[in-house]
Structure 1
């Protein structure tokens, strides 16, 4: 009995392996027809199998003579055409980052850095304790790649043949996923755009990488092994400058990472709201979390505001940054109060966070907040209403409270 069972298992495995490697040919279709399989079964088999059909005129004539009907022959021709198109696409497939504009796909070409600079003022004023930022610069106040929506759809296409690495487009032969790129907000200074790519500290040395505060999260949808759709998690700012920056390993042999895939959001495009009218969201209002119905959306000073009503039909107005579909997610952002000043987290990084406050904290109150909330790493304080602009009025870094508008350093 045991030998019989093993024999059946072996036979099934052999059959399964054979089925997995099976390729339909013209002769296979004729054989199925002679065995009495109906048209719908044969057509289904064609659509679900690997095929290698000969659809030249003489081959089609032979199929007709053997009794293969027109519907089956049409399915065979379509399968052969699909295989041919896939092979041509694989051979001719382009790689890079593309933006979808309507039905058209537009390539985003890389822009090379024009130079680098190091800001040593903050380091000098703090006697070398604060970091000196390394910034890579690009010529021009705007990119040549103009995007006309605040929630753009990007498509990352990676090389199918990874044996050939070109000097001009090597990113997409080495990388395998958009996760190896960072979407970063650029700063505009004078007639150029800047990207922080590292920092120097006389005690800690040099570190390389973009500033996490300027990184924008995005959602990835896998289309196939080589193509991905990328969409920012939240709307980008009209008139803003952005880029995709590669953060993976760099191959040896003359390759460098001195370029980014930059783009500008048109100043005239209307900012897209993350939540549609008629939906319910949880909102931080009057120091409480309330469920609200969105009835209208407006843009004020570049910020999205919603108007609606609470579950008790009370009218309310709130910023997009103050709401979420997830109540627990919103609750987790609330730190508490310092002398009646509400503090909540609006962004977290590996080495710190950005905190939104209802009014400015004094240096003594900042010290109290650090102890009360056990704040560690680099902390940025944004006033409510300025959180979407990414502008902090104060911060904690390397053992100092920094008041940015007066460039004042206060030791903790």
Structure 2
């Protein structure tokens, strides 16, 4: 089934669909009725409207398309069509099931950190590194991928013209690009998962996900505020997460920092 397959209960009309209906001989009234009762993803910029007129689309039909395009659409949590407006968040695209759909990944705010390797750091006078880890409750994620190279869609706060706060950085701003996320493999512990978000040694303190822990991914913008993401390579089975920091220092007691105010983690499992 196509990536842009529509829900069996709702047909989504595009500009080309309207042109095709008219070309098939349906009258203006019938086409307008179809426009008024169907979901849509019309392009209604000036250049496109002029092109529709040149294709012989009546002004009454164009007006109905423009009117329908301005209606605030319902937001979805599972439509497989990435062009359908979705609630702000991170979605796993399920293309391995018999009926494709999106799975919304609920974020977990990690406000607890733990320090590892502090004894080695102390014994070696800072030559060995100590690490700071964000603690994520639960041993496994609620959303599972049967694909080793899963596809994700991220709908930022700006996707629907509003600010949901889902991607607030804690500094009065929000994430504007997938470049601000880190994809990492989470370490599995009893009752929890962990992600390294800082380290220190004699050379200094580093805050954020370490470069060597990050999994490279590629992305493309499919519409304003909406991005398609895939890892560059296949992922082995295990726990993973998209992470962005909410602000603050590396961790309590390290080089006098105030402590991390946490990280927001969108976790998923690769089977």
State whether residues 134 and 196 of structure 2, in contact with CA within 8 Å, keep that contact through their aligned partners in structure 1. yes
State whether residues 146 and 264 of structure 1, in contact with CA within 8 Å, keep that contact through their aligned partners in structure 2. yes
Change (3 A) 1:206 1:71: closer
The TM-score, its normalising length taken from structure 2, stands at: 0.61
Q: 2:141 aligns with which of 130, 140, 143?
A: 143
The match for 1:96 is 89
State whether residues 175 and 248 of structure 1, in contact with CA within 8 Å, keep that contact through their aligned partners in structure 2. no
Q: 1:154 aligns with which of 152, 155, 164?
A: 152
CA distance in 2, matches of 1:227, 1:89: 16
Greater share of helix residues, 1 or 2? 1
Are 2:265 and 1:260 equivalent residues in the alignment? yes
- RMSD (Å) for aligned C-alpha atoms: 3.5
CA distance in 1, matches of 2:229, 2:144: 17
Measure how far apart 1:158 and its partner are: 1.5
CA distance in 1, matches of 2:70, 2:267: 35
Q: 2:129 aligns with which of 131, 152, 155?
A: 131
The alignment partner of 1:49 has SS state of: helix
Measure how far apart 1:147 and its partner are: 1.7
How many residues align structurally? 196
Kindly indicate whether structure 1 or structure 2 has the higher relative contact order, using CA contacts under 8 Å at least 6 residues apart: 2
| Cα deviations by residue, 1:187-215 (Å, 9 ceiling, x for unpaired) | 113332111111133x4443211122221
The alignment partner of 1:223 has SS state of: strand
The TM-score, its normalising length taken from structure 1, stands at: 0.42
List 4+ stretches of structure 1 deviating above 6 A: 161-164
The match for 2:107 is 110
Greater share of strand residues, 1 or 2? 1
CA distance in 2, matches of 1:137, 1:88: 37
CA distance in 2, matches of 1:171, 1:105: 25
Are 2:184 and 1:184 equivalent residues in the alignment? yes
Measure how far apart 1:225 and its partner are: 2.2
Q: Unaligned regions of 5+ residues in structure 1, if any?
A: 1-44, 52-69, 267-412
| Cα deviations by residue, 1:130-167 (Å, 9 ceiling, x for unpaired) | 11111111222211222221111111111238996555
Measure how far apart 1:78 and its partner are: 5.1
Measure how far apart 1:231 and its partner are: 0.6
Q: Give the structure with higher Rg (CA).
A: 1
Q: 2:65 aligns with which of 51, 54, 79?
A: 79
The alignment partner of 2:223 has SS state of: coil
The alignment partner of 1:216 has SS state of: coil
Q: Unaligned regions of 5+ residues in structure 2, if any?
A: 1-44, 76-84, 249-259
